Structure 1
Amino acid sequence: MNMSAARGVRGTRERLVVIGGDAAGMSAASQARRLKGAEELEIVAFERGHFTSYSACGIPYWVGGDVPDRDQLIARTAEEHRARDIDLRMRTEVTEIDVAGGRVRARDVDSGAESWTSYDKLVIATGARPIRPDMPGADAPGVHGVQTLDDGQALIDTLARTRGRRAVVVGAGYIGVEMAEALINRGYEVTVVNRGSEPMSTLDPDMGRLVHEAMEGLGITMVNDAEVTKILTGEDGRVRAVATEAAEYPADVVVLGIGVRPETTLARAAGLPLGDHGGLLTDLAMRVRGHENIWAGGDCVEVLDLVSGQERHIALGTHANKHGQVIGTNAAGGYATFPGVVGTAVSKVCDLEIARTGLREKDARRAGLQFVTATIESTSRAGYYPSASTMTVKMLAERRTGRLLGVQIVGREGAGKRVDIAAVALTAGMTVEQMVSLDLGYAPPFSPVWDPVLVAARKAAKAVNAPLS
């Protein structure tokens, strides 16, 4: 059945089909519903899991006990969506997109029953999937990826019934670092095995070294420059150790924190355009390139980096919700755009705050940019004020022009959210010299007279203007 014939069966009412029931998908559905009533627009959404509209970013804090109740991570339940005239079909997985026919095939996860649903407009919000290494033992009981609430519940269930207290985290990016903290909070002896030279590859190695030292100070064993070759199991089939070429690390539970990839299996099979990172390519309106009535958003797409001008894959709920707002507006006949990102992210491990925005040194080199760097140490408050804590700020600026390229911050309380100053400056295309004169709030409980970000900007401005040696 083609799209015009399908619409004839339904009358003049259009049908919007959404694949994926989390941040981007349900934000799109909700925004479209705000703009168009059920008499004009039918909305059908498919979600293969048990939960919808939840904060995946909060899962490590739920696992670690900071968030006591799983339901606190759910922003809106399936019943709440349905009450707003959104036909949300849970535990239903879309298995095929028929672009030419304007329809999707869906399978009931529990019964296996399959059916086709036609669409006039389609939203693809399939998210990302955790990277699982292709090695012996990767699927053994006791080995967990953490991407969905179902994943988080499975890990919590394992922790509850595991007698031993040894945990190995594979990978030291955001997920790995946050899960190391969660397991420390649960009383586990934690080893992090990282193939990079330092943890947090989203930072330059010199800043990652600060994270390394802080993690070891918390009692976490860091193993860098180590590639996991296999996961060893015991006679009962459960995980017992993680092996590298050089050593074995005993484990009663293993958490994979290697990262994620865009989940674009359906899109690839349908012949939709993908970028170098495997994510869907869209225009500024989040419309899939070359397809008038198909949009995509969230962790399954690539986005424009406003600093480098290149496409990137960044899996963050902040972007996903913004994508959904843009998509829902456009799918309902309005107009909105998503211009791009500067790559801002913030995390923590216990009391250590880690933040970055813009380009790392290797990103700038890849983009063909010449740059200077400036690294400073300062404090979160006036040095004489009680509880002032130290932080390190690193700044990159373009040689000759002085344009800000990136900022990284590692420190204690008050360090992480300072990166937002730099994120705004990057978005505005400011130079480091312009940043020096920013009128930031000051009082001894909040900042030194010269905020650490401005101290770094002042040092970077001197480096930009220094004669070439």
Structure 2
Amino acid sequence: MTAAAGSRGAGRERLVVIGGDAAGMSAASQARRLRGPDELEIVAFERGHFTSYSACGIPYWVGGHVQERDRLIARTPEQHRARAIDLRMRTEVTEIDVDRQRVRARDVDSGAESWTSYDRLVIATGARPVRPEMPGVDAPGVHGVQTLDDGQALLDTLARTSGRRAVVVGGGYIGVEMAEALINHDHEVTVVDRADEPMSTLDPDMGRLVRTAMEGLGITMAGGTAVTKVLTGDDGRVRAVATEHAEYPADVVVLGIGVRPETSLARAAGLPLGAHGGLLTDRAMRVRGYENIWAGGDCVEVLDLVSGQERHIALGTHANKHGQVIGTNVGGGYATFPGVVGTAVSKVCDLEIARTGLREKDARRVGLRFETVTVESTSRAGYYPGASPMTVKMLAERRTGRLLGVQIVGREGAAKRVDIAAVALTAGMTVEQMTALDLGYAPPFSPVWDPVLVAARKATAKVRASMS
């Protein structure tokens, strides 16, 4: 092992960044914009082969909507280095020494290790996919889809495997998006999920709409059952997945069970973690109790503006915002990340799925009393060609009428309507206030009353009735 790396010029600080994707490199890039190389040295470590790429785009690359892998890469290592960022690829940080302000890193290929000191540290270690401990889970033909390397490995398997049976384990965002990708490869797709309905980020009644639509697309849905093992053939490759009650033949298996914060380094260093295992930060994204350590991206917990509690939400939108905030603060400016309302959208073929705010069980967990309404409407004026159905569910706090959450399932034009609710939630609006929103209208774009506002009207009436 070599000694702590590098001498610094007089008055020059060193920023060390752990993680070369959205949060980490956004922080490094923003800090560099504000402080030049003579003032701030930036060293970044990335254990993989790629930097600054869209993990959210991997299902669409695998499914053929995006033709080239490199289209998902926003900035290459060479581009970062051209901006005076010392980016060290295929280098994994294995220890954070908080007391001596240094990190230990290992070259993934050679195994060589060295210490690098820091004045300021950014932890952007991301999240790790949930990989259940079960027999056969590491067999050839079983894939996760967290990184570009994962996506390439899956494409290679699809190219060389003659069978056309695929099983997706997990019915969340990753699961439904990968189901579409595999359909695009002409596979027979089965989705196995321990929840009764897919998309557990929705309430079960809305998840049921998703299941019905997916079955209409030819996807076999096996809900309310957990995979217990992966079965292999004589060649050692996957041949099926098994639950307690059934077996589902498979030539390829994709794990889409979700992710957890990758905070093993932080835990070992004694940094504060929340109930979900993510790092805890203040609004400036500074790790609580540590003046010179920041954290952002999928490894942190964030404030839910609706419930007032900390949540773990792994989304690239948040990670990039965290990085901007961190880089601004490291660079001598001031910025904060106030929190989230939990907005997310997804699709499977032509089915669009959206949610923001709280589900029913979320509201109950934090002790809120609420009313719910569900409305059926269309994306355009009913008489205009191409109008497609959508279902909108809305939660409002009883008596106050404060909007608590919205879920939408429909076809073209459905998902992005959730942004109306996301803005209303952030502003703390009531459902009655929402009914007066001056939204754009023309028959090709919406009915006279937008579906979200129809739900707000019905929710207003129900809240008023609860007060009588």
Please name the residue that 1:449 is paired with. 448
Q: Which secondary structure does the structure 2 equivalent of 1:177 belong to?
A: helix
Q: CA deviation at 1:215?
A: 0.4
Secondary structure of the 2:354 match is strand
Q: How does 1:121-270 map to 2 (within 5 A)?
A: 121-270=120-269
Structure 1 residues 113 and 7: CA distance shift in structure 2, 3 A: closer
Which amino acid is the alignment partner of residue 281 of structure 1? L
Distance in 2 between the 1:458 and 1:281 partners?
A: 38
8 Å CA contact retained: 2:5, 2:114: no
Residue equivalent to 2:366: 367
8 Å CA contact 2:44–2:86 kept in 1: the answer is: yes
User: Retained in 1: the 8 A contact 2:399–2:467?
Assistant: no
Which amino acid counterpart does residue 426 of structure 2 have in structure 1?
T
Decide whether aligned partners of structure 1 residues 464 and 104 sit closer, same or farther in structure 2, where only a CA change above 3 A counts: same
Gaps of 5+ in 2: none
Conservation of the 8 A alpha-carbon contact between 2:124 and 2:299: yes
Could you say if the C-alpha distance between residues 11 and 467 of structure 1 is closer, same or farther in structure 2, counting changes exceeding 3 Å? Answer: closer
Equivalent position SS for 1:27 = helix
Deviation at 1:6, TM superposition (A): 8.9
Matches within 5 A, 1:3-152: 10-152=9-151
1:222 match: secondary structure: strand
Contact 2:298–2:313 (CA under 8 A) maintained in structure 1: yes
After TM superposition, give the deviation of residue 11 of structure 1 in Å: 2.2
| Deviation of 1:45 (Å) | 0.3
- Secondary structure of the corresponding residue to residue 445 of structure 1: coil
Distance 1:156 1:275 in 2: 36
Distance 2:140 2:13 in 1: 46
- Partners of 2:232 and 2:125 lie apart in 1 by 32
* Counterpart position of 1:396: 395
Q: Is the 8 A contact 1:142 1:254 kept in 2?
A: yes
The 2-side partners of 1:204 and 1:33 are apart by 44
TM-score, length-normalised on structure 2? 0.98
- State the one-letter code of the partner of 1:320: A
Q: What code does the residue aligned with 1:217 have?
A: G
Q: 2-side partners of 1:60 and 1:118: how far apart?
A: 38
Distance between the aligned counterparts of 2:207 and 2:7, measured in 1? Answer: 59
Q: Distance in 1 between matches of 2:148 and 2:360?
A: 35
* Letter matched to residue 280 of structure 1: L
Separation of aligned partners in 2, 1:203 and 1:313: 16
- State the distance in 1 between where 2:71 and 2:77 align: 15
Please tell me whether the aligned partners of residues 302 and 339 of structure 2 are also in contact (alpha carbons under 8 angstroms): yes
Tell me the amino acid that sits aligned with residue 337 of structure 1. T
Whole-Å Cα distance in 1 between the matches of residues 368 and 349 of structure 2? 35
* 1:34-55 C-alpha deviation (Å, 9 max, x unpaired): 0000010000000000000000
Which letter does structure 1 place at the counterpart of 2:257?
A: I
Whole-angstrom distance in 1 between the partners of 2:337 and 2:164: 45
What amino acid maps onto 2:122 in structure 1? V
Q: Which amino acid aligns with 2:172?
A: G
Partner of 1:379: 378
- 1:58-107 per-residue CA deviation (whole Å, 9 max, x = no partner) reads 00000000000000000000000000000001100000000001000001
CA distance in 2, matches of 1:148, 1:125: 15
Q: Structure 1, residues 368-398: CA drift from partner, whole Å, max 9, x if none?
A: 0000001000000000000000000000000
* Cα 1:7–1:337 shift into 2, 3 Å: farther
Per the alignment, residue 458 of structure 2 pairs with 459
Tell me by how many angstroms 1:185 deviates: 0.5
Q: Does 1:280 align with 2:279?
A: yes
Q: What are the superposed Cα offsets for residues 278-321 of structure 1, whole Å, 9 maximum, x if unpaired?
A: 00000000000000000000000000000000000000000000
Is this contact kept in 2: 1:7–1:14, CA < 8 A? Answer: no
| TM-score for the superposition, normalised by structure 1 | 0.98
AA aligned to 1:321 is N
Deviations 1:423-463 (A, max 9, x none): 00000000000000100000000000000000000000001
Provide the rounded CA distance (Å) in 2 between the counterparts of 1:468 and 1:301: 40
Give the distance between the partners of 1:152 and 1:312, measured in 2 at CA. 28
One-letter amino acid of the structure 1 residue matched with residue 67 of structure 2: P
> Partners of 1:388 and 1:249 in 2: how far apart?
37
Taking a change above 3 Å as real, the CA distance of residues 165 and 348 of structure 1, as seen in their structure-2 partners, is same
User: Within 2, Cα distance between the matches of 1:8 and 1:90?
Assistant: 21
Q: Name the SS of the counterpart of 1:232 in structure 2.
A: strand
CA distance in structure 2 between the partners assigned to 1:8 and 1:158 by the alignment: 47
* 1:322-361 superposed matches below 5 A: 322-361=321-360
2:298 alignment partner, SS class: helix
Note the C-alpha offset of 1:235: 1.2
Structure-1 separation of matches of 2:412 and 2:454: 18
Alpha-carbon distance, 1:467 to partner: 3.8
Shift of 1:10: 3.8
1:44 aligned partner, one-letter code: V
The answer to whether the Cα contact below 8 Å between 1:7 and 1:13 also exists between their aligned partners in 2 is no
CA distance in 2, matches of 1:382, 1:271: 57
Which deviations, in whole Å up to 9, do the C-alpha atoms of 1:342-393 show, x marking residues without a partner?
0000000000000000000000000100000010000000000000000000
**Cα contact 1:372–1:463 (8 A) shared by 2:** yes
> Following the alignment from structure 2 to structure 1, what is the Cα–Cα distance between the partners of residues 57 and 144?
15
In the alignment, the residues of structure 1 paired with residue 110 and residue 261 of structure 2 have an alpha-carbon distance, to the nearest angstrom, of 27
| 1:32 match: secondary structure | helix
Report the CA distance between 1:9 and its aligned residue.
5.2
Alpha carbons of 1:467 and 1:124: their partners in 2 closer, same or farther (altered >3 Å)?
closer
SS at match of 1:465: helix
Q: Cα deviation per residue 1:89-126 (whole Å; 9 max; x = unaligned)?
A: 11000000000010000011111111110000000000
Distance 1:465 1:49 in 2: 55
* 8 Å CA contact 2:6, 2:116 repeated in 1: no
Give the number of equivalent residue pairs.
Answer: 465
Percent of pairs with identical residues: 86
- SS in structure 2 opposite 1:466? helix
SS at match of 1:18: strand
Q: Work out whether residues 391 and 411 of structure 1, in 8 Å CA contact, stay in contact via their aligned partners in 2.
A: yes
